[in-house]
Amino acid sequence: MADIFEKIKANRGPIGQHAKESHGYFTFPKLEGDIGPHMFFRGKKKLNWSLNNYLGLANHPDVRKADTEAAAEFGFAAPMGARMMSGNSNYHEQLEAELSAFVEKEDTILCNFGYQAILSAIDCLVDRHDVIVYDAESHACIIDGVRLHMGKRFVFKHNDVEDCDKQLQRATKLAEETGGAILVITEGVFGMRGDQGKLKEIVELKKKYNFRLLVDDAHGIGTLGAKGGGAGQEQGVQDQIDIYFGTFAKSFALIGGFISSDEQVVEYLRYNMRSQIFAKALPLPLVKGALKRLELMRNHPELKENLWKITNALQSGLKNAGFEIGVTDSCVTPVYLNGSIPESTNLIYDLRENYNVFCSMVVYPVVPKGMIILRIIPTAVHTLEDVEYTIDCFSKIVGKLKAGEYMSDKIAAT
Ligand SMILES: Cc1ncc(COP(=O)(O)O)c(C=O)c1O
């Protein structure tokens, strides 16, 4: 018989197996100072492109003031208990109403974490007779929600509408046998490649099949749509998204999330979603903080305009300099390179230590062997000079990569 601790010692997991060499530098790095484009890493100032602080709200003076005042007024304990039992407040309800208007839905339920919201909503919406159809590159929270599902599921190739159609055919046949319903799940923006989910095309399939659509718009809320209402608004199909999810962890620069839908659906979620019924409500400073951020999003369109000015300059500059950025049509900007894992770690080390540019790197097993993605997240508070400097640095490091300079382990900080 095995022992759990012995098993863990023998197998540290796909990322954990590298913890010894990577901890504190490539994994669990500490970025210090005020959140923004210039932060400190190991005591040195870096140009930072690794945070989803899209609108630059994290360090906005009005946000900092509202957060401080709310923390002083309420503390972080209030309200105590789950919303259903003793943890409700006027501010929670006000935020739900304002979010509903923002994403053009009848009602909204606040959730403590985005991850938990999606997972728990999926669990709550379907039973064992129902069938889930979902995108193959869905975020881990969707995958975990699908894992909780007791019925059948069909996965379609990433953003492949033809395959989605095929899976819907299979799902329909099965649902007719079980007497169940179909839930299709996709994302507004896929966080690695930056491509928007094909929402317009997927909702077209409603003419052929009977299903409800759940969209995880973690990266779309605040960044896409004429009024910042997300990918559905951007694609003109917000009214066809049956269940809309947004997180506070990105554009809002906060923590928590929400699900918006028809009034009766949200009421059902309020009374049946296990992660909310059996967990403490969001603390009031977070709720008041979210209200302030939403007010800024509504009243200051220049935040989103700046974000897109930087995004467009970055993406067109990278393309003009010969970089491969793939199929992104959002702010998420991946730069695709080829190289081994040792080369990628040397490259990142050089970029951080000698060029003072900090961005995230994605390598195998998240992407195929031999591929390196440098993932750049532009924000409204970056400048065009930051963009120009970064493209210049990237050109230099890619020159070194191609010349084989990162093959040795002798890259040192100057
Ligand atoms: C697509 C997507 N969905 C859900 C989440 C989870 O949201 P949260 O960080 O609010 O738990 C994330 C990451 O933050 C995400 O990128």
Output the six-digit token pair for 10.
């023998």
Closest-CA residue to 42 (of 377, 347, 413): 413
Residue 134: alpha-carbon gap to chain centroid: 17
**412 has pLDDT over 70:** no
- Fold of the CATH domain 72-299: Aspartate Aminotransferase; domain 2 (3.40.640)
For residue 368, count other CB atoms closer than 10 A to its CB. Answer: 8
280 half-sphere exposure, CB direction, 13 A CA radius: 9
| Atom number in ligand 1 closest to CA 256 | 10
Residue 27 — φ and ψ, nearest 5°?
-120, 150
| 115 within ligand 1 shell (Cβ under 6 A) | yes
Query: Which residue ranges make up each domain of the chain?
Result: 11-48+302-402, 72-299
pLDDT tens-digit readout, 121-176: 999 999 999 999 999 999 999 999 999 999 999 999 999 999 999 999 999 999 99
pTM: predicted TM-score of the whole model, two decimal places: 0.96
Q: Whose CA is nearest to atom 14 of ligand 1?
A: 249
Question: According to the CATH classification, is domain 11-48+302-402 in 3.90.1150.10?
Answer: yes
Treating both helix axes as pointing N-terminal to C-terminal, what angle do 301-320 and 384-402 enclose, rounded to 10 degrees?
30
CB-ligand 1 contact for 67 (6 Å cutoff): no
User: Which pLDDT score is estimated for 224?
Assistant: 98
What is the model's pLDDT at position 71? Answer: 98
Mutate to test the pocket of ligand 1, among 54, 113, 115 (most ligand atoms within 8 A of CB): 115
Tens of pLDDT along 306-353? 999 999 999 999 999 999 999 999 999 999 999 998 899 999 999 999
Residue nearest to atom 12 of ligand 1 (CA): 218
For residue 191 and ligand 1, the question of a CB distance below 6 A is answered with yes
Confidence check: pLDDT of 357 > 60? yes
Q: Does the pLDDT value for residue 409 go beyond 70? A: no
Say how many Å lie between the CA of residue 113 and the centre of ligand 1: 8
Length reported for the chain: 414
Atom of ligand 1 nearest to the CA of 52: 14
Ligand 1 pocket test: which of 50, 120, 139, 214 has the largest number of ligand atoms within 8 Å of its C-beta? 139
- Is residue 408 predicted with pLDDT exceeding 80? no
Cβ(54) – ligand 1 distance below 6 Å: no
- Radius of gyration over every alpha carbon of the chain, rounded to an integer in angstroms: 22
